[in-house]
Structure formats: C-alpha cells, structure tokens
A = this chain, B = another copy of it.
Amino acid sequence: MTHFHDATTCQSCAQRFTSVFCKAKQEFIADINEQKICNVYKKGQTLFNEGSYPFGVYCINDGKVKLSHLGDDGKEQIIRLLRGGDVLGYRALLSGERYSASAIALEDTQVCFIPKELFISVLKSDTGLAFEMMKLLSDELHKAEVKLTHLAQKPIRERLAETLLFIKETYGYEADGITLSVRLSREEIANLVGTATESTIRLLSEFKKDGMVELDGKKIKILRQKELIKTANLQD
C-alpha cells in the first residue's frame, strides 16, 4: 500500500508551494489548517459525484485523480487529470451548481477537504487568493477551448499523440525516464481522446509498430517524443 508523507498541517504540506493556496495570507492558511479534513481515497474511489451538491473544495496532497463527465448516452468523457497540488470542486461551488463532473482516484490519493464556508470567507477577505482563483479558472477555460478546437478539427491519430504528451506533461515519467507514471486503461485513454476504445487500441499498436511507444499492459513507454510531437501536429 502506498505510503504518504506527513500532511498534518498545511504549513508543512508538501504542496504548500505549488497549490493555489500558496498565495493565501498566512492567517488564512492557519484557519484552513484548523478546519481542513484529510482523507485517503483508494484507487477507484470517488471523491465526489456528478449531480451532487458541493460542500467544499478538495486539495490533492499526493496522488492522481480523474475528473469526468457523463455524456447524454452515459459514456464517460475525461475532462481533466489532476495531481498533487491541484484543487478541485471549486467550479461547481463558485457557480452555485451541483457538480457537473465526478472525481475518481486513479491511484491511492491523499486529499484535504476545505469546507465551503471557510473557502468562500477566505476568498472574500483575501484578494490575492481571489485573483489566483480567477487566474486558475481562466487557465482552465483556455485549456478547454483549445481542447475543443482540437476535438473539432484534428483526426484521432493526432489527438491520441497529443493525449499521450498531455499525460506525460501532467504526470511525468517514472524513474526510468520513459515510462508514463500513471496506469490508465485503454478505455480511459479513449475517453480522454474522445474516441472508441478499439480505435485507441489500434492506434497505440500502430504507434508501437512505428517505434514511438512501447506497450506492456497498462505501462506505456514513450520512446520517441519528437516523433510523437510531429504526429500530434502541434503548433506551439
């Protein structure tokens, strides 16, 4: 079983320099530290469910989480991948709606929960944090718009290559420097790319044949990142 760092206080939290909250004033960090509730979710467990009401925000201390939407026909669409330092659950809270997506742990994950009232009150008194939140939302909106454009305009082959690079950007490599450090099923990759599972499987096999990746079950190694970038046909 995964072993976690000590995160009993926000002041000693491993994420204290990476999270949005690092910009909050010390006094508020102390408040958060008092009221936060830490929790460990095992792989596959749900932090919150689409359709339910938000009671606070979640702050990932260590681990990996996927945020996914159900399409009108019940098919999962993975909207975002989250890692240590990321905050989630704020979107529904800020727009005063139910959760529009479910959050599920991709591996054993340590999470701090910050109650709604506290979050809102800190946000009200700490302008810096409010601006950080606005920046965070703006960045997410930007990413969503770019993804939207690619989804509308790029063929699946390019989108799969892009998705593999995105996974690498998000979670990085294992110690060997080439294995993606997350285990996703082919179906999950498909739900990230926005395609059928079989298409993903087929294209991954092609990428393997082309020598760009190596496949070993759910372990994916990136052998030629440059070619993958070329395959993804990215401008930036």
Interface residues of chain A, those whose CB is within 8 Å of chain B, are: 69, 71-73, 75, 77, 79, 90-92, 94-97, 100-101, 123-124, 127, 130-131, 133-135, 137-142, 144-154, 194-195, 233-235
Contacts and interface: CB of A to CB of B under 8 A. Distances in A.
A166 to B, nearest CB: 14
A150 B71 contact: yes
Nearest to A233: B72
B141 A137 contact: yes
Interface of A is mostly: helix
A135 B96 contact: yes
B135 A133 contact: no
A144 B146 contact: no
A11 to B, nearest CB: 26
A142 B141 CA distance: 9
A141 B99 CA distance: 12
Nearest to A91: B138
A149 B233 contact: no
Given A72-B233, A127-B124, A234-B72, A144 B137 contact: no
A69 B134 contact: no
Given A100-B146, A153-B194, 4 more contacts: A69-B149, A130-B134, A151-B151, A152-B195
A75 B151 contact: no
B153 A75 contact: yes
B77 A153 contact: yes
A151 B152 contact: yes
A79 B148 contact: yes
Contact of A139 (B95, B145, B147): B95
Contacts of A147: 148
Contacts of A95: 135, 138-139, 142
B149 A77 contact: yes
Contact of A79 (B75, B127, B131, B145): B145
Contacts of A101: 145
7 contacts: A69-B145, A71-B150, A71-B153, A72-B154, A77-B148, A91-B138, A124-B131
B150 A91 contact: no
